């Protein structure tokens, strides 16, 4: 079986750290899907705007490994307890394929999709796109085991105004929501540790003490382009 990317998604995250753990956690995060030339056909998107949400099937392109493990250590379990790989959403799988449900915001330039609620790295290869069907895809009685842990936990973000104003206004709300969602691995609790997060064309530094996140520095990153239009 040969599979090739039909498109790539462009987001504000050039690195994995800081990306929301699941799609929809930060509705304010946008991404743009641009199709490869051979799939850049307006007729391929005919009727797509009649659906509010889409399933993105994608390649965990930065997580390819030659050897796979039958068990993984989910961050939600503190990184020290193993579960079966098929009982996880780990990117380290026999076939590194991911699935995300995003909201369709608009079709632009006839062949580009603007989506929100993304949880994808910049330039992630998209393998397929399918419409979300509420009557069958939404299971109201479903339960999610350890995936439900800490789902409502939020941090109080302290972002100095003189630093925050350097971020374009349309991106501030998304960044604040990502920080409030606690991008740290669940097993890291050192209040003296400084974390570095790449967002758009900025690098910010922060520390976390208890339920408080403190942004301590923000720098423009000249090596990182603002990829999300």
* Domain ranges (residues) in the chain: 7-137, 151-220
- Give the fold, CATH level 3, of 7-137: Elongation Factor Tu (Ef-tu); domain 3 (2.40.30)
The count of residues in the chain is: 229
φ/ψ region of 44 (left if φ > 0, alpha if ψ in -120 to 50, else beta) reads alpha
**26: closest CA among 154, 202, 217, 167?**
154
Which pLDDT score, from 0 to 100, does residue 146 have? 79
Q: Do 7-137 and 151-220 have matching folds? A: no
pTM check: above 0.85: yes
Residue 74 clears pLDDT 80, i.e. is over it: yes
Percent of the chain scoring above 70 in pLDDT: 97
The phi, psi pair for 40, rounded to 5°, reads: -85, 70
- The DSSP-derived string for 77-134 is GTTS--EEGGGS--S-SSS-EEEEEEEEEEEETTTEEEEES----TTEEEEEEEE--H
Question: Can you read off the two tokens belonging to residue 115?
Answer: 């989506």
Report pLDDT digits (tens) over 171-202: 999 999 999 999 998 788 899 999 999 999 99
Pairing mode of beta strands 83-84, 97-108: unpaired
Architecture of domain 151-220: 2-Layer Sandwich (3.30)
Tokens matching residue 170: 């349309």
């Amino acid at each position: 079986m040969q599979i090739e990317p039909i498109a790539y998604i462009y987001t504000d995250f050039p690195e994995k750290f800081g990306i929301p753990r699941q799609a929809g956690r930060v509705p304010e995060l946008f991404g743009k899907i641009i199709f490869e030339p051979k799939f850049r056909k307006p007729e391929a998107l005919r009727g797509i705007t009649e659906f509010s949400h889409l399933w993105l099937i994608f390649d965990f392109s930065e997580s390819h490994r030659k050897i796979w493990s039958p068990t993984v250590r989910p961050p939600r379990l503190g990184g020290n307890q193993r579960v079966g790989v098929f009982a996880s959403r780990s990117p380290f799988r026999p076939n590194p394929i991911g699935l995300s449900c995003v909201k369709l915001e608009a079709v632009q330039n006839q062949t580009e999709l603007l989506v929100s609620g993304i949880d994808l790295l910049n330039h992630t290869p998209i393998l397929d796109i399918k419409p979300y069907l509420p009557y069958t895809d939404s299971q109201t009685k479903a339960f999610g085991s350890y995936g439900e842990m800490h789902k409502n936990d939020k941090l109080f973000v302290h972002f100095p105004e003189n630093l925050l104003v350097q971020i374009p206004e349309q991106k501030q709300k998304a960044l604040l929501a990502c920080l409030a969602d606690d991008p740290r691995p669940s097993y890291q609790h050192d209040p003296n540790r400084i974390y570095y997060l790449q967002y758009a064309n900025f690098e910010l530094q922060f520390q976390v003490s208890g339920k408080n996140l403190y942004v301590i520095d923000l720098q423009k990153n000249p090596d990182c382009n603002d990829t999300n239009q």
